[in-house]
Structure formats: C-alpha cells, structure tokens
Amino acid sequence: MDLCIEIENLSKKFDDKYALKNISLSFVKGKIVALLGADGSGKTTLLRLIIGLLCPSEGRIKTLSLNPVIQKEKIVLKTGYMPQKFGLYEDLTVIENLNLYAKLKNTKNDFDELLDFTTLKPFKNRLAQNLSGGMKQKLGLACALLAQPELLILDEPSVGVDPLSRLELLELVKKTINKNTSVIWSSSYLDEAFNFDLSIILDKGKVIFEGNTKALGSTYEEFESKVIDLMGGYKKVESKIAKNYHIENYSEKCTVVADNLSKKFGDFWAVKNNSFCIKKGEIFGLLGPNGAGKSTTFKMMCALLKPTSGKGYILGIDVEKEPTKARSYLGYMAQKFSLYSRLSLMDNLNFFAGVYGLFGKDKKKKMERMIEIFDLEQYKTTITSLLPLGFKQRLSLACALIHEPPVLFLDEPTSGVDAIQRREFWNHIKSLSKIGVSVLVTTHFMDEARFCDNISLFYNGKIIALNKPDKLIESAKAKTMQDAFINLIKKANQK
Ligand SMILES: Nc1ncnc2c1ncn2[C@@H]1O[C@H](COP(=O)(O)OP(=O)(O)OP(=O)(O)O)[C@@H](O)[C@H]1O
Ligand SMILES: [Mg+2]
C-alpha cells in the first residue's frame, strides 16, 4: 500500500507537558482521513508536525517521502494547508487574496470554480475584513485548494460554515481526490467524519482509534455514541448555573423585539426588515447560510451597530436610545469570542464583571461562583489565548452570565467546540431557559437547532421561514433539520 505519511514513535513536548506522546501512524495515499478528538487532544499539533511547522521532541515523520524537519520548503510546494486560524490578508479583497496565494503557489489565476463553489463570486471585490465569519472560512479554504496539492491538510475547515456549504465542500474535496491526492481533515463535526473511509481519534496526545470509520458503527447513531465514549463519555448532570440565578420580574410579553431592523453597507443590504419577538424563557434560533445577516442583526440588537432603519427593544427599552441600560439586561457571546486574549482568565472575568456594573464583595462572590460552576479553577492564571477552545467557550459564557441577565445573545457559541462540550453547553442553556432567561442563538449545528423553541430561517438579509423546529421540517417536506435547511435555502434560490 502506498503511504503518504509515516509516523513512528512521535512525541511533542511544550515546556514539560506532552501534547503528543509516542504515537505511530500511517496514512494511505488517495484517501480522506478524519482526524477526531476532543479540544486539546493534539490534532493541530500533529498537523503542524506533518508539514514541518513544528519539530518533533522525539520520533520520526516522513511526509510525501520527505523529512519535514529539513525539507519543509519542498513539502510546502506539494501541500495545501488550511490552518485553524488561517492567514487571510484582511485589508486585501477576496480576489487579491486569491491572486496572492496563487503567486505563492506558482499557479495560474483561474479561480472560477472556486469562486462558484464558495459563492463568493458576487463579493470578489469585498475586503476580507468585511466578510462574514463563514465567508472568511470559505475563502481560506479556496486558497488551500489552489494548485491541486498532493496533500491537503485541513484543520477544522468547516467551523462556522453553513450546512449547505458544508455539503458542497465535502463534494468538492471528494472530487479533487484521486490516486495521488490525500486529505487529512480534522473536525469536530462527527456527522462529517462519518462520511470518510478512515478515522483517527486522538485523546490527550495518544491515538485511541485508527482504522475504518465504519468499524465504529454502521449507522451514524452507533458511530456517534462510540466516538463520544472513546473520548471519555458524557454524563448529564444537573446544571448548577440556574440555581440561585436571580432575574427581575418584568411584565413585557416579549423580552426581545426586533422591529423591521435593516442595515445597509454602501449599496448592499445586509439585513432587510428583520422582525421577531422572543418571549420570556424562549430559545429563539436565528439560522441561515453564511453572510445571511445574522451577526449584523446581533450587533444591532446589542447597540454595537447603528441600524439604517428599524428598532430593537430589550425589556421594552429602545436599544439605540438607551444602550447602556439595554445592555445591562443582556449577556452577549460574540462570534469568535470577544475575550482579551493577552489577559489571564481571571482578568477577563474581572473585566467583564466590571463592565456589567458589578463591584466589591458582590463582584468577588459572583466571580467565584462562575469559576466553580464552569470548572475553571485549574486555568485561573492561564493567558486566555493559551486556553483550550472548550475552556475559552466556557469563559465566554461565564463572562456573559456573570451579572445574571434575563436575556442572552449567543452568536455561534459552539463553533469548533467538541461534541461533549457542546452537550454540556446546551445543558446550561436549557436550564437557564427553564427559569425564564430568553435566548437568541445562532448555530450551524442542526442537531442544536432542534433545541430551539422557534426558528427564524434567514437568507440574504430576510426571513424566509419562521416556525417551531418540527413544523419547519414538516413544511420543507424533510425528515431532518439539516435537510429542511437545505431544501428551504434551495427553494429560496430558485425564486
Ligand atoms: N462592514 C461591512 N462592510 C461591508 N459589508 C459588510 C460589513 N459587515 C458585514 N458585511 C456583509 O454583510 C453580510 C452579512 O454579514 P454577517 O456577518 O451578518 O453574516 P452572518 O449571517 O453572521 O454569516 P456567518 O454565518 O458566516 O457568520 C455579508 O455579506 C458581509 O460580507
Ligand atoms: Mg455571523
């Protein structure tokens, strides 16, 4: 069997901690291999070692018959690498980024197919910094796919990518595969990994599974529960957050109201007449493809962006007129977390507690409570940028909840987070909704969409469907939420 990567007794130590410990693996040519594992299990470290961005502490790697320690430059020319935080140039446009990468890869500037698949064609002259989160992700992927590499290394390529585009991405990568191309695809979406022939699962720096994906289960449900078990399992325990959480009594029927919110950038309408009402204790899902206008809606509802027209209200307070008062009633988790990466975990918590008006003994008590509930003790002094993703997410939620707001805004709170942490997260959210916290949430995980009481499907800045999850599935003549999403978007496209 032809191998594209051979790894023998590989270890990587950072300071005195092993990120990978004595692993041996081989990757067959011409296949897509799923690289799975909880946050912090060593996936990114392994990918970086394979292409020579890191040097092993012990052991040996052969990548495309080359030694990454001394032949990195040769490997780079044969490899397409999409890092987790890819290097797009924010002040260049879409097309300028592609041109630049084409030049680096010594390939011709023929981007038609890539622009079509990424649906970035209409936006090719937009600056990268003005793209939505998912659009940036797709552009990064397009750059990695240039020059038809022999080895394609994708580190969580579909984080933040909408369900329809994820499907298209999978098809595209499958299409590029032939006898000579190999793909390593790290992912926290287990449904995606189920599509690939081979899987590798890492846990705390060790390989705990290597082999045929279907050996873990012939149906998706079996596969998912096996993987979760291998990753340590999930035990549902009562969420502590809702206990002793005090929210004021209020009489408004709708806690959150968007009244014809619209936003125009130049001559482009990012949001057009978005209206909804969220009741006390309701979980309201704002779903939609990348660039639909979800984050723009969140920002207007938090008074971080001035609407071109329309109004937002929180507990009856006009968000634009009284932003400080409105914000005191809400907790906001921004897409890609707005934590201060150079501050420690404790400093971030302290800062946000202050911003939300807490001080003195009360502040200290609430900070301690968050540390306990979210199990953050071990990382108190860690610099935030160095926290495992799952802990960044917990900290972000802790910062949003510290002042016990009756309204919670969550913009893709679980993107890139592993399956176990996602379950824990939703356990907290559901328990909060039970005691009356209203939640506006967006997600590209369709299993999570099922947890919403109502869903607004948003596309091209407009609502195209608003219903309870079951009704939405029924109306789309689909069996699953994923299919409903895809059917409804395709139908809207035909119009
Ligand atoms: N400052 C800006 N200037 C120009 N266009 C912008 C600006 N900010 C956002 N946009 C555009 O508005 C549209 C909506 O973006 P938004 O971030 O709200 O999408 P989204 O629904 O959150 O997508 P995703 O799922 O990818 O996060 C996109 O086409 C985006 O490029
Ligand atoms: Mg967004």
Q: How far is CA 126 from the centre of its chain?
A: 23
Q: Rounded distance, CA 183 to CA 4, Å?
A: 10
Which residue is closest in CA terms to ligand 1's atom 29? 291
Q: Rounded distance, CA 134 to CA 267, Å?
A: 22
Two tokens at 400?
A: 């949003």
Q: Around 199, how many Cα atoms within 13 Å sit in the side-chain half-sphere? A: 27
Q: Rounded distance, CA 220 to CA 225, Å?
A: 9
* Centroid of ligand 1 to alpha carbon of 291 (angstroms): 5
Ligand closest to Cα of 296 equals 1
Count of CB atoms situated within 10 Å of the CB of 266: 8
Q: Which residues line ligand 1 (CB under 6 A)?
A: 126, 130-135, 160, 162, 265, 270, 288, 290-296, 335
* Centroid of ligand 2 to alpha carbon of 335 (angstroms): 6
pLDDT at res. 317: 95
pLDDT at res. 86: 64
Q: Domains for the chain: give ranges and CATH numbers.
A: 3-230 (3.40.50.300), 254-329+405-494 (3.40.50.300)
Instruction: Find, among 429, 434, 437, 491, the residue nearest to 464 by Cα.
Output: 491
Tokens 């299993």 found at: 447
Q: Using CA of residue 422, residue 427, residue 429, residue 430, what is the dihedral sign?
A: positive
What's this model's pTM, rounded to 2 decimal places?
Answer: 0.90
- DSSP single-letter state for residue 19: E
Ligand closest to Cα of 292 equals 1
pLDDT at res. 421: 86
pLDDT at res. 216: 93
Two tokens at 492?
A: 């809207």
pLDDT at res. 412: 92
Helix, strand, or coil (residue 194):
coil
- Please choose from 94, 130, 305 the residue to mutate so as to test ligand 1's pocket, defined by most ligand atoms within 8 A of CB: 130
Tokens 């939420």 found at: 481
* Centroid of ligand 1 to alpha carbon of 295 (angstroms): 7
pLDDT at res. 243: 87
Query: Which residue ranges in the chain fall short of pLDDT 70?
Result: 86, 337
pLDDT at res. 236: 84
pLDDT at res. 192: 85
Two tokens at 50?
A: 């394979």
* Centroid of ligand 1 to alpha carbon of 346 (angstroms): 32
pLDDT at res. 372: 93
